[in-house]
Amino acid sequence: MASGFVIRKNQYYDSVFLMGVNKRLSQAEGVLQTAVLMGSDKNKQLLVDIGIGGDEITKANPNDLIVAVIGESAQVVESVLRELDHALHAFEENLSGPRIHSLEDAIAEKPHANLAVLSIPGEYVLREARKALEDGLNLFIFSSNVPIEGELELKELAAEKGLLVMGPDCGTSILGGTGIGFANVVNRGSIGAIGPSGTGLQEFTCQIHNAGYGISHAIGTGSHDLSDEIGGITTLQALEALEANAQTKVITIIAKPPGVATLALLLERIKGCSKPVVGCFLGARMETAEWGDTLAWAPTIDHAVLSAIQHVDEKQELAKLTLTNQERDLATNARASWTPEQRYVRGLFAGGTFCYQSQLILTEASIMTHSNAPLDPKNSLAHPDKSLEHTLIDMGDETYTFGKPHPMIDSTMRSKRILSEGRDPSVAVLLLDFILGYNASMDPVGDLLDAIFEAKQMKQQQGGELTVVASICGTDKDPQELDLQEKLLREAGVIVFHSNAKASLFCCELLKPVQESVS
């Protein structure tokens, strides 16, 4: 194994661009790991953590581009670094539109714009965001690693100016039919949505579309908005905006449990809302709350979808989240091919909300899971790369994405982990998610098929079968072609659902006899 790096002084690129270049370099034969990042202190520490350091890296400044490669041989490393300029130029040529290098350039190019999208390292966000707000622009901040006190300052300033800050760490919004960040192509309609999570909003809006209904607006708030430190500032503004929007007939909030004080504030505001609100606070024990007549409680995203639809179409009956007899038979047949040693499920998720919701559903079935993002801290993994019994991993967590592309863009880390789980004789079920839409991989299924085939072959060599269960989040209008992605999975022997909750429930059915034998 060998490693090396190059530094390009004063050669700044945004995080989305760096993700694309990193993916291109990581696909070279013989490459074990790559890091394409700017020379911030946090990024330099990341390089030290993977064994790459030196005086040049220590002296690099945040405007310097650092490209590091770990490969099977020195020749591999040298070859990849020699190709850096070609990779940079090739990626730049693929970008469309004018080359804008500053907020001032962007405002000059689009003087009538009312929204700025920031996708830059977190340490630069406050400066650029303040400038945008002073220029009267609403904000969508894709960037993460922004201090919580800085987020509060931005949101309070925006509120004073009558502006909206979606983020930081905002993955998805759909405004007037236009998707921002990771977003799917969905019908316009009368159902509004609010949520801190990108994949939670994507799952909700896709299911609404696939049921034949439409979205007025879906407003992302950022992962920390419902914390007591922020107090739900953007959520409350979004609620007010959707309440005033003539097209919106029902409002749905999709989120993990808010802070105690924030939840009380939000409930009080919802009680006075003139439109019905569906609340899906995953994992919250909401039966003790004083709801009032305005709010309907939904324990899963699937339930939230049905409840929202019923508010715009009273003929739609609410159905329980359950499996069909055919699906139960499918589980029985799959289980029959396992060896006695196969007992555990391993979930590898690109979507953090999917990891969280799957844990909830398995826990309700008395299947205790470990995770790098656990419901209960006592179930936290000692190391995220080492699974223990039933394990569900959020591979979009900072551990896996810091200095590397998100798994919705680049499947490299998930492919490696699939093979690792396939080698474990105790693994019976592999639970995956596939997320379509703008800015995601153009072939998320194809990216993982080789790893799935190889993992299944490993299990057959051990005398058993690996049951692969997947959910697809997408619509028939997405550029990745939903039908094709599903067909590729089914042809590979994967059991496919159009709902993370349904896929998780199927895993509960698969594991039920195993759980009963343990008890």
Q: Which residue has the higher pLDDT, 67 or 105?
A: 67
**Span 432-438, average pLDDT:** 97
Q: Identify the CA nearest to 229 among candidates 201, 258, 200.
A: 258
**Span 437-464, average pLDDT:** 96
Q: What pLDDT was estimated at residue 370?
A: 98
pLDDT class of 438 with cuts at 50, 70, 90: very high
pLDDT in tens, 29-45: 999 888 888 888 878 88
Q: Which residue has the higher pLDDT, 20 or 302?
A: 302
Q: Give yes or no for residue 320 having a pLDDT over 80.
A: no
Which ranges in the chain are annotated with CATH 3.30.70.60?
2-94
Q: Which residues pair with 280 in a beta bridge?
A: 254
CA 493, CA 511: separation in Å to the nearest integer? 19
pLDDT in tens, 139-153: 999 988 899 999 999
Q: Identify the CA nearest to 410 among candidates 27, 119, 72.
A: 27
pLDDT in tens, 355-368: 999 999 999 999 99
Of 174-188, 301-315, 340-354, where does mean pLDDT reach its minimum?
301-315
Q: What pLDDT was estimated at residue 96?
A: 54
CA 135, distance to chain mean position in Å, is: 31
pLDDT in tens, 382-395: 999 999 999 999 99
**Span 214-241, average pLDDT:** 98
Q: Identify the CA nearest to 140 among candidates 217, 206, 72, 80.
A: 217
Of 102-111, 346-355, 480-489, where does mean pLDDT reach its minimum?
102-111
Q: What pLDDT was estimated at residue 288?
A: 41
pLDDT class of 24 with cuts at 50, 70, 90: confident
Q: What pLDDT was estimated at residue 253?
A: 98
Query: In this structure, how many other beta carbons lie within 10 angstroms of the beta carbon of residue 169?
Result: 22
Q: What pLDDT was estimated at residue 341?
A: 97
CA 440, CA 473: separation in Å to the nearest integer? 11
Q: Which residues pair with 492 in a beta bridge?
A: none
The CATH classification of domain 325-518, taken from the options 3.30.70.100, 3.30.1330.60, 3.40.50.2020, 3.40.50.261: 3.40.50.261
Q: Identify the CA nearest to 256 among candidates 182, 199, 171, 197.
A: 197
- Burial of 232 (C-beta count, 10 Å sphere; 0-12/13-18/19+): buried
pLDDT class of 22 with cuts at 50, 70, 90: confident
How large a percentage of the chain has pLDDT more than 90?
A: 72
Extract the tokens encoding 331.
Answer: 């589980």
Q: Give yes or no for residue 221 having a pLDDT over 90.
A: yes
**Span 240-264, average pLDDT:** 96
pLDDT class of 491 with cuts at 50, 70, 90: very high
Which ranges in the chain are annotated with CATH 3.40.50.720?
98-169
CA atoms within a 13 Å half-sphere pointing along the CA-CB vector of 155: 27
Q: What pLDDT was estimated at residue 286?
A: 64
pLDDT in tens, 268-288: 999 999 999 999 999 876 654
Q: What pLDDT was estimated at residue 94?
A: 63
Q: Give yes or no for residue 137 having a pLDDT over 50.
A: yes
Of 31-40, 211-220, 460-469, 489-498, where does mean pLDDT reach its minimum?
31-40
Fold of 2-94: Alpha-Beta Plaits (3.30.70)
Q: Give yes or no for residue 95 having a pLDDT over 80.
A: no
Q: Give yes or no for residue 326 having a pLDDT over 70.
A: yes
**Span 166-191, average pLDDT:** 97
**Span 114-120, average pLDDT:** 92
DSSP state of 111: T
H-helix or E-strand spanning residue 85: helix 84-94
Q: What pLDDT was estimated at residue 84?
A: 86
Q: What's the sign of the alpha-carbon dihedral 405, 390, 495, 497?
A: negative
Q: Give yes or no for residue 119 having a pLDDT over 90.
A: no
pLDDT in tens, 408-426: 998 989 999 999 999 999 9
Which ranges in the chain are annotated with CATH 3.40.50.261?
172-320, 325-518
The CATH classification number of 98-169 equals 3.40.50.720
pTM of the model: 0.85
**Span 100-124, average pLDDT:** 86
pLDDT class of 291 with cuts at 50, 70, 90: low
Q: State the architecture of 172-320 in CATH terms.
A: 3-Layer(aba) Sandwich (3.40)
Helices (H) and strands (E) in the chain, counts: 19, 19
Mean pLDDT (the chain) is 91
